[in-house]
Structure 1
Amino acid sequence: MSELRVGFIGLGNMGGRMTGSLLRGGVDVLGFDAQQANLDASGATAAASGAQVTRESDVVLLSLPNSRIVEAVVLGDDGVLANVHEGQVVVDLSTAAPASTRAIAEKLAAKGAHYLDAGISGGAAAAEKGTLTLMVGGDADALERIQPVLAHIATTVVHMGASGSGHVTKLLNNFLNAVALSATAEVMVAGKKAGLDLDALLEVLNASSGVNFATLNRFPKIVHGDYLKGGLTNTLMMKDVQLYTELIADLGVAGLHASGPVAAFGLAIASGRADEISNTVVDAIGDVSGGVRLHLPLPGADTAPVDAAAPAAEEGNR
C-alpha cells in the first residue's frame, strides 16, 4: 500500500496531542487550526486553510469542539465537502450529534468520499501517548484502509457499525463517565467532611463495588492537589451530557440519571469553572458544602470533624 498523506484540522487540546503522536511515528502531517498558536505548537506542516488540508491529503482527521463547528468546517464555503476527492477518507474524532454525522456522511458519499465517525476515549494522557480507544462508525473497508494511520494514535479500534454508531457509542460512554465523575466527587467531599483518610477511602472503593474510572484514575491525584489539567472541560462535559439526553429522547429511552451530572457540571460552570478541566467539579461541590478542598484542611479544622452518625449536642439536650 502506498503511504497515505495525512491532514489534520483542529489542533487544540486533543488534536494537537494526536498530531504529536503521528509525528513521533514518522507520519508527516499537514495541519490547520483557526488559532495560530495551536498550529505552531502542533509541529504539523502549516496549511493556509482546511481546504488546502483536504485537497492535499488522502486522510483528513478532524478534532473539533462540537457539531456546529464540524458542520461549518465540512459544509461551509470552500470547506472539506467542496474539496474532497473520490476515495478520500475523512475521520471525525470529535464528540458530535449522530444525526449531524449521518447527514454529513451522506453528502461526502455523494462525492465518492468516506466519512467515519470515530469517538475517542482515554483523555489527554492517552492522546499524548498514542494509546486512545476509538469507536468507529461508517464503511468498514475505509476503516481497514486507514488502520496504519490510526495505529499511531490508538491501541484499540473497534468498528461499531453504520455511520453515526461511533458517535452514539461515544455519547453512551461519556455519559457514564460524567455520572461516575460527578457522583465520586460528591462522595469524596462527604468523605472529607466525615474525617476519613481519603487515600484509605479510595483504597476501599477500588477494592469494592463502588470502583469506577474516577476512583481509579482521577481522585488518587486530585486528593493531593493534582487536577490532571488538560482534559475535558466542564463546558464540554455538559455538552456531551446534553447530547446524550437528546439521543435517548430520540430513542424513546427513559432518562432517569441525567439530573445528577447536569446539576454538578452546571454548578461548576456557574461557579466560573466553565473552561477548567471537569475534575474541578469536586471543588464546585466543595464550595457549596462549606468550602471543602480535598487536598487542604477543612475550614476551621482545629476541631475534630463531626461524626455524621452521632446526634448533635444541641439535639441531645432537648
Structure 2
Amino acid sequence: MSVVRPKEVAFIGLGAMGYPMAGNLAKTVGKSLLVWNRSHEKATKHASEHGSTSVQNIEETCQAKVIFTCLPSSREFEELIFQIQDGLVPGTIIVDCTSGEPVATQRIAKALLERGTQLLDCPVSGGPGGAKAATLTAMLGGDPQAVLQVTPTVALFAKKIIHVGPVGSGHAIKAVNNILNVTHLMLASEGLLALKKMGVDPAKALETINNASGRSLQTEQRIPNCVLTRSFDYGFKLGLMNKDVGIAGRLLEEYFPEAVLLKAAQQLMLQAVETQGSDVDYTEVVKALEAKAGTQLVPNPRSRL
C-alpha cells in the first residue's frame, strides 16, 4: 500500500515532537503537506526548512483526507475538533499523535464517526531524537481498515507501528508506558542516591548495573546522559510527563485500585512538579529526590561515564 497521495495530508501542532515528525512527512509529501500551528511563524518556518505548505487558517487543513495532530493534551485536541468539524469531508481520517485521555478519545471518536470521520489515536514514543530520526514507536488504536490506510504514511516518521486495539487503546498504553518510564528513573535514582551516601561513585554503580540484571533505558541513557552530566536536557517537560502519569493513575483507579507502586510514583511526580515546576525537563524529577537525600548524583571527577 502506498503513502497517501499528494495534497491529501495535513499536520496540526508543530511542537518539540510535531515539528520533526511533520518534517519527515515532508521529505516524501513535500509542498503537498499542509502544516498549521497556533503560532503561524512556526508553520512558516517549517515550510521554509522542510518544503511543506503553511496555512494560516486552521480550516484550510480540512482539504486533507488524512489530518495528523500532535497537541499538548486532549483538551486542546477537542477544542481543535470543534473548530474544524464543520469543514471535515466524510471519509477523512484524523490521526491524533497527542498523548491523550483514552475516555475523551473514545467520546470524540464516536461523535466524529457520526459525521463520517474516523479518529485513530496514534501516540508515539522515542522523544525528540526519535522524531527527528524517524525511529519512533507508534501505538495505533482504531478501526483496522483505517489503520491499514494510514500505516504507510505513519511509517514516514515511525520505525515501529503497532495496531494495539480499538480507539483509545493507544492513548492508554502510552500513559502506562510513560508512568513506567519515569518510575524506572525514580527507582534507579533512589538506589543510586543511597549508594552515593554510602560512598559509592554513581558512575561506577551505573557501569556495574548496566552490565547486570537491574539495567533499564533509564540507567543506560537518561541518568548517564541527562543526570550525571547535570544537563537535564532530554527535551520532554516535567508537566507533560506528569499529565501522562495522571492519565495512567486514573486507569489504575478504575481497573486496578489495589495497585501500590505506581500510585506511589504518581505522588512523587506531583511533589516534583510542586518543587521543580512544570516547564523543566522531566529528568529534573531526580532533583526532587536529591533534595530529599541531601546529596546529588555527581560522579567522581576521575570516573568515565
Q: What TM-score results when the alignment is normalised by the length of structure 2?
A: 0.88
> Aligned to 1:155, which of 134, 153, 159?
159
Which ranges in structure 2 are unaligned for 5 or more consecutive residues? none
Residue from 223, 226, 231 that aligns with 2:228 = 223
Matches of 1:167 and 1:86 in 2, distance apart?
24
CA–CA separation in structure 2 for the residues paired with 1:193 and 1:82: 61
Tell me which of 158, 176, 182 is aligned to 1:178.
182
Amino acid at match of 1:61: F
Q: Say if 1:248 and 1:153 are closer, same or farther in 2 by CA, change over 3 A.
A: same
Which structure: greater helix fraction?
2
**1:294 correspondence with 2:298:** yes
1:181 is paired with a residue whose SS is helix
1:95 maps to which of 93, 99, 112: 99
Q: 1:252, CA displacement in angstroms?
A: 4.4
Q: Which amino acid aligns with 2:88?
A: V
> For residue 81 of structure 1, what is the aligned residue in structure 2?
85
Question: Which among 237, 240, 243 is matched to residue 244 of structure 2?
Answer: 240
1:138-190 per-position Cα deviation (integer Å, ceiling 9, x unaligned): 01111111122111110110001111111111112112112112222222333
Range that drifts further, 101-110 or 258-267? 258-267
Cα distance in 1 for partners of 2:281, 2:38 equals 22
TM-score, with normalisation over the residues of structure 1?
0.85
How many pairs were matched up? 292
Query: Do the aligned partners of 1:6 and 1:27 also contact (CA within 8 Å) in 2?
Result: no
Q: How does 1:1-318 map to 2 (within 5 A)?
A: 3-4=5-6, 5-28=8-31, 29-43=33-47, 44-53=52-61, 55-74=62-81, 76=82, 79-221=83-225, 222-230=227-235, 232-294=236-298
When the two chains are superposed, the root-mean-square deviation of aligned CA atoms in Å is 2.0
Q: Unaligned stretches of 5+ in structure 1?
A: 298-318
More deviation, 154-163/192-201: 192-201
- Give the secondary structure class of the aligned counterpart of 1:167: helix
Q: 8 Å contact 2:95–2:120 — kept in the other structure?
A: yes
Q: CA deviation at 1:295?
A: 5.5
Contact 2:197 2:295 in 1 (8 A): no
* Counterpart Cα distance in 2 of 1:257 and 1:123: 25
* C-alpha contact (below 8 Å) 2:203/2:300 kept by paired residues: no
State the Cα deviation string for residues 227-256 of structure 1 (Å, max 9, x = none): 2342x2111111111111111222244231
1:258 partner SS: helix
Q: In the aligned structure 2, how far is the partner of 1:258 from the partner of 1:226?
A: 27
Cα distance in 2 for residues equivalent to 1:41 and 1:271: 35
CA contact (8 A) 2:193 2:295 kept: no
Task: Give identity over the alignment, percent.
Answer: 29
- Contact 1:245–1:255 (Cα < 8 Å) also in 2: no
